[in-house]
Amino acid sequence: MFALAESPTQIDAGKTTAGVFESTFFHFRYELPKGWFALDDKVRIADNEKRYEAAAQETLEKQGPSTPAHTTSTVVPYSLLLASRTAVTASDARPLPRIAIQADEQTVMMSAAGDPAKMILDVVKPKVLRGPEDVVIAGHKFVRADFQMKLGSFLSKFVTVNGDYLIEFDLRADNEKDLAELTKSMESLQFSDH
């Protein structure tokens, strides 16, 4: 047997209705740009469950079952939203421009809001356009970093800590002007009290 922190259906609970995504687990609301399409929430949640089950099985095979002296745990990113100007039908779709929001359980290597940007800088080595810098959105501290990736796409990443999770807003476009427009959608973000 291995330990589960939360079931994926709790963590990724949320729905997109009329261009607005609401996360019931993380208590936030985010408006998509006008005319954008989100991956169907049932498909997204089913894909998260499949990814979690596969990772849990792999972890169990590598680490063995939990014992009093050793706890086996599984850490996977949970997709909260995938959206684009064109219809998105699969969670592995990578259209440009796109918005991907995911929740990552904090780990030793990914515990602070700036860690995802540091990892991109260390591993991918993109051209830095902005940051990393602290910004406040809807009363929450985020780290923002903008990059031009080596293959020519542009990325703006906003990350905040929410409980034991990093919430990543990954905004991508094929040019800097579209990315600048896309980052304006972060102004629609609202958090509610639990």
The answer to whether residue 168 scores a pLDDT higher than 70 is: yes
Q: What is the CA radius of gyration of the chain?
A: 17
What pLDDT score does 173 carry?
97
In a domain, 181, yes or no: yes
4 vs 83: which has the higher pLDDT: 83
The Cα 1–Cα 161 span in angstroms is 29
Residue pLDDT, tens place only, 56-106: 787 667 766 666 665 656 567 889 999 999 999 988 888 999 999 999 988
In a domain, 2, yes or no: no
What pLDDT score does 51 carry?
84
In a domain, 40, yes or no: yes
Nearest to 152 by CA among 180, 174, 172, 122: 174
Tokens standing for residue 48:
């998260």
The Cα 40–Cα 153 span in angstroms is 25
Using DSSP's 3-state secondary structure scheme, residue 34 falls into coil
Domain of 89? 8-189
Q: What is the CATH number of the domain that holds 68?
A: 3.40.1000.10
What pLDDT score does 4 carry?
37
In a domain, 119, yes or no: yes
| Long-range pairs of 9-15 with CB within 8 A, sequence gap ≥ 24 | 9/45, 9/49, 11/78, 11/103, 11/165, 12/44, 12/45, 12/48, 12/78, 12/79, 12/80, 12/103, 13/45, 14/41, 14/80, 14/81, 15/41
In a domain, 69, yes or no: yes
The Cα 125–Cα 119 span in angstroms is 9
Residue pLDDT, tens place only, 9-62: 488 989 999 999 999 999 999 999 999 999 999 999 999 888 888 877 876 677
In a domain, 3, yes or no: no
Residue pLDDT, tens place only, 104-145: 988 888 889 999 999 999 999 999 999 999 999 999 999 999
Tally of domains within the chain: 1
The Cα 163–Cα 131 span in angstroms is 24
The answer to whether residue 2 scores a pLDDT higher than 60 is: no
What pLDDT score does 71 carry?
61
190 vs 69: which has the higher pLDDT: 190
67 vs 155: which has the higher pLDDT: 155
Helix (H) or strand (E) holding 10: helix 8-11
Q: What is the pTM of this model?
A: 0.86
In a domain, 143, yes or no: yes
In a domain, 26, yes or no: yes
